[in-house]
Amino acid sequence: MRFTAVIFLLILAASCKSPEARYPVSQNSGSYIDESVERNKEMIAQEEDYIKKVMGENVDTEYLSSADGFWYYYNEKSTDSTNTRTPDFGDVVVFDYSISSIEGKSIYAKGEKPTQEYTMDKEKLFTGLRQGLKLMKEGETVTFLFPSHKAFGYYGDKEKIGSNTPITARVTLHEIKEEPNQEINN
């Protein structure tokens, strides 16, 4: 009986061995990702060089560079000294826009896209337009030049804008409505 108990304890102890880590059969060095990053950097640099070339051909226009990696100019700038408010997180903005290629060929003409009501940073909107709206005041019209990674990126808009396409967007900001919670608290 003792012999059976000893064997049982040995089998029990052997079966309670802690699990060993499993290692991958093959390891990738990450070279594919590194190559992809390099390709994207080159593509962005080429797009930005092309945009700068187009801007250089337009000597009568005063282009401004944003800290977010795109360029813009004012078609209509507010001269009202009391109109200093730009949209904040949660504000609702009412705007319309048209989109064209960097060369000026219309993609979505004025009025083709309906007037938008957008809650700042709480709804989906392509990156460049979301960042551009934050620079605007009520009543202003601004033309933005976006590299593809600030526009619709690799996938395009699945309608008229293709993959990796830099665009120009002409935006008119009609109204900024304070976030509803802010109005109650004021």
Backbone angles phi, psi at 107, to 5 degrees: -110, -55
Taking residues 30-51, what's their average pLDDT? 90
How many residues appear in the chain?
186
150 in Cβ contact with 71 (< 8 Å): no
Q: Residue 33: pLDDT band by 50, 70, 90 thresholds? A: confident
Taking residues 18-33, what's their average pLDDT? 69
Q: Residue 137 carries which DSSP code?
A: -
- For tokens 């040995």, the residue is 10
Q: Which of 79, 69, 76, 80 lies closest to 95 in space, CA to CA?
A: 76
Amino acid at position 106, single letter = S
- Which of 27-41, 53-67, 127-141 is the least confident region? 27-41
Taking residues 169-176, what's their average pLDDT? 97
What pLDDT is recorded for position 127? 95
- Give the Å distances, CA to CA, from 15 to 43, 153, 155: 57, 54, 53
Cα angle: 96, vertex 74, 128; to 5 degrees: 55
Enter the CATH code of domain 63-185: 3.10.50.40
- Over residues 135-155, the pLDDT tens digits come to 999 999 999 999 999 999 999
